[in-house]
Structure 1
Amino acid sequence: MIKKIKSKIVASFILMSVSMIASAQEETVKINDTLTASTTLVYLDSFQLGLENWKVEQMPEGTAQVKDGKLEITDVAGCTIWLTKKFEGPLMITYDACVIGEDGPQDRVSDLNCFWMAQDMEHPNDLFVNSEKRGGKFSNYDNLRLYYIGVGGHDNSKTRFRRYTGDGERPLLPEHDFTDKKYLIQANKVTKIKIIAYDGIVQYYRDGERIIDFYDPNPYTSGHFGFRTVNNHMTIENFKVFSLKSEKIAK
């Protein structure tokens, strides 16, 4: 009983500390040559509370656990790990990721993927009604409405961005299909990822380099974020979500 009380006190203290940090941190981000935005940190996760704020959808034999302050995913047949908190844009998401390529059975350098602004159009107020049905199988996500990027898919031979429409369609534009080595994964390297969704501007950065710069005339402005992978071994840390507010437009 005492241990449970102590655990609750520690958890409350951590949440309070996170809230204080989040309310204090602000900076400016350049979105393009004519637009900058002020940022306010609204959520951070250093995984001190384990996966309390995450929903794991994973095919059999895979694992997702917190180890040494990092989310560690070891996957066999498919995995999505959703942040259970829903956010509205404009926003920026940042985190550090590392795909492990050593001697482990799942150390396949591939599929540093993610979903964002995800919504189940059949259940727009609850993404997790069909969580068990999806179960981590990639094709079971086709009917969600979301943005998706697959970095280093197909055994680290392709990087692709798609806009899922929510009715099974997930078109791939030629300009969002990359095969050049510079767009693929470097094994055992911590990569800094940044995602921006701002009034129709959809961007994906890796180590400061902008890979995707897409304008959506009918943008997705709210939804859930999820890490996505298959048959690999990777770690995630320093996950943050920022709200964005227009600061100035250069003339």
Structure 2
Amino acid sequence: MKQLLILLCFSQVALAQQVKFTSPLDTSLWKPEIAPKENSRVYTSKGKLIMDTKGGVTVWLNKELRGNFTIEYRRTVLVAGGVNDRLSDLNMFWMAQEPGFRRHGVLEEYDSLQLYYIGMGGNTNSTTRFRKYEGTGERRLIGEYTDSAHLLQANHTYTIRIVVKDGTTSFYADGVRYFEYADPHPLRKGYFGFRSTWSRQIISDFKIYQ
């Protein structure tokens, strides 16, 4: 597949700004939802997005994505003595239906949405799970790993890739396919969001390919 770097309706200038995560954070392009906890914040530094949070956090891309596409980016869970450092929860939502950007980062607030969800190294780095939220409160489990090969390494920069193509969605970390799901009732449009809780993480080099 010929991969052309695009951001759907955004211009190339806007795309370059997004990839670099300009300072301060462009809140027209990115919509942070963060639990009201002490010592929690979302900010940018040196072209990277930092989520440094005691509670839950979601940072949405404010653009509905449609059709076939690939999302790719780099992400590190830091464990270096920071107040919120914890090896857990390299998570993300995609194809979320009408998120509204009015929540406060608490995971249960998203139960009313239809979406796909990866929780990589969740539950204090004991599980990696792929779920489909049905919009009814059901978080349907599609697949799960508990072995160390599919859990997180501290301070390792992962290349994350999500592929949506013709009703099938796949998740890769460092080129290894963890999950692939041919959904009989696929979500064909929706929003992408970085998701985590109680951790410090760095995100960079965000791209979307058509």
Higher helix proportion (structure 1 or 2): 1
Residue matched to 2:114: 145
> Distance in 1 between the 2:75 and 2:84 partners?
16
Q: Which amino acid aligns with 2:33?
A: E
Equivalent position to 2:2, from 38, 54, 58: 38
Residue in 2 that maps onto 1:111? 89
For structure 1, the residue ranges without an aligned partner over 5 or more in a row are: 1-36, 121-126, 244-251
Q: Which amino acid aligns with 2:175?
A: G
CA distance 1:49–1:222, shift in 2 (3 Å): farther
Q: CA deviation at 1:150?
A: 0.1
1:88 aligns with 2:52: no
Within 5 Å, which residues of 2 pair with 1:197-208? Answer: 197-208=164-175
TM-score (norm 1): 0.76
Higher alpha-carbon Rg: 1
Question: What amino acid maps onto 1:186 in structure 2?
Answer: Q
Q: What does 1:5-84 correspond to in 2, within 5 Å?
A: 37-43=1-7, 44=15, 45-48=19-22, 50-52=24-26, 53-60=29-36, 61=38, 62-84=40-62
Determine helix, strand or coil for the equivalent of 1:77.
Answer: strand
Return the alpha-carbon distance in structure 2 between the equivalents of residues 220 and 93 of structure 1. 16
Letter in 2 for 1:68: K
**Cα root mean square deviation, aligned:** 1.1
Provide, for residues 4-59 of structure 1, a one-character-per-residue CA deviation record: whole Å limited to 9, x for no partner: xxxxxxxxxxxxxxxxxxxxxxxxxxxxxxxxx33221124211254211000001
TM-score by length of 2: 0.90
Distance between the aligned counterparts of 1:65 and 1:95, measured in 2? Answer: 17
Distance across 1 between alignment mates of 2:116 and 2:200: 23
Give the alignment partner of residue 198 of structure 2, picking from 231, 236, 241.
231
> SS in structure 2 opposite 1:232?
strand
1:190 is matched with 157
8 Å CA contact 2:23, 2:47 repeated in 1: no
Separation in 2 of the partners of 1:51 and 1:233?
A: 17
Aligned length: 196
Q: Percent same amino acid among aligned pairs? A: 42
The residue that corresponds to 2:11 in the other structure is: none
Separation (CA, whole Å) in 2 of partners of 1:89 and 1:157: 33
